[in-house]
A and B are shown apart, each in its own frame.
Chain A
Amino acid sequence: MNHQHTEQTSTMVEVNGLFSQTLLGIPFVVALILYIIAFVVSRQRGREWPVYRSVFMLLGVFLALISVFGPLAVRAHMDFTYHMLGHLFLGMLAPLLIALSAPMTLFLRALSVKNAKRLTRILRLKVTGFFTDPIVASILNIGGLWALYRTDLYMAMHESLLLHVFIHIHVFLAGYLFTISLIYIDPVPHRRTFMYRTIVFIFALAFHGILSKQIYAYPPDGVPTSEAQSGGMLMYYGGDLIDAVIIVILFYQWYQSKVPRSTALQPSMVSS
Chain B
Amino acid sequence: MSQRITIDPITRLEGHGKIEIFLNDAGDVERAFLQVPELRGFEQFAVGRPVEEMPRITPRICGVCPTAHHMASTKCVDAVFHVEPTPTARKIRELIYNTFMMEDHTLHFFFLGGPDFVVGPQAPAAERNILGVLGKVGLEIGGQVIRVRRECREIINYFGGKVIHPVCGLPGGVSKGLDEEHRVKFLETARYAVEFARFALKIFDDVVLKNKQYVDLVVGDAYKLTTYYMGLVDEKNKVNFYDGLIRVVDPEGKEFAKFKPADYLEHVAEHVEPWSYIKFPYLKKIGWKGFIEGKETSIYRVAPLARLNASDGMATPLAQQEYERMYQVLGGKPAHNTLAFHWARLIEALQAAEAMVTLLEDKEITSPDIRRIPTETPTEGVGVVEAPRGTLFHHYKTDERGLVTEANLIVATVNNSAAITMSIEKAAKAFIKGGKVSEGLLNLAEMAFRPYDPCHACGTHALPGDMPLVINIYNSRRELVEQLRRE
A and B bind: no
Give chain A's interface residues, CB within 8 Å of chain B. none
